[in-house]
Amino acid sequence: MRKNHANWMGDLMNNNSPFINHPLNSIIIPGTHDSGTMTLDTRARTQTLNIKEQLEHGVRYFDFRIKLSGNKYYFHHTLCSDDVLCEKKIDFTTPKSDYALHQIRNFLIEQPNEIIILKFQNFLNLT
């Protein structure tokens, strides 16, 4: 049975926590590499859990690689050569629960004491 770690940072703020007076930069933050690749072909996938599930398991650092193609944004994996296998369309304009940034937003509404770090890198076709 998987344990839910959705509020581990909030738990650190508990007066009984030995971490109550520790600054954020002294705490190990669990994170994932190529965080948005859970729906890609197995050759490009580094995660099997969606963003919401990663958050529930305690992940607080996300590494997103973004590509612009036409007017759509995609998660991509830089090691692939076949764009069909290496991209996942994301829509930043439509609130839909399965989109990564909406999952993060909804999680933060439910868990207001948590901190999430987002790293966006390997931008392709963005100027």
pLDDT surpassing 80 at residue 54: yes
Number of domains making up the chain: 1
Q: Is the pLDDT of residue 89 over 70?
A: no
Residue 83: what pLDDT? 45
Does a structural domain hold residue 25? no
Which residue has better confidence, 85 or 62? 62
Whether residue 51 has pLDDT greater than 50? yes
Is residue 48 a part of any domain in this protein? yes
What was the pLDDT predicted at 85?
38
Note the pTM of the prediction, 2 decimals: 0.76
What does DSSP say about strands 61-69 and 31-32: parallel, antiparallel, or unpaired? parallel
In a domain, 9, yes or no: no
The first and second tokens of residue 59, run together, are 């992940």
Q: Is residue 78 part of a domain?
A: yes
| pLDDT at residue 80, rounded to an integer | 54
**Torsion sign across C-alpha atoms 95, 96, 98, 104:** positive
Tokens read off for 17: 């926590």
Residue 110 belongs to a domain: yes
Closest CA relative to residue 39, chosen from 66, 79, 78, 76: 76
DSSP string for residues in 44-98: T----S-HHHHHHTT--EEEEEEEEETTEEEEE-TT-S-HHHHEEEE-SSS--TT
Tens of pLDDT, residue by residue over 65-84, are 887 777 777 777 766 544 44
List the one residue out of 88, 109, 105, 89 whose CA is nearest residue 97: 105
pLDDT in tens, 18-45: 777 888 888 889 999 888 777 666 666 7
The domain containing residue 113 runs over which residues? Answer: 30-124
Q: Is residue 5 in some structural domain?
A: no
What one-letter code names the amino acid at 90?
Answer: I
The reply to whether 20 falls in a domain is no
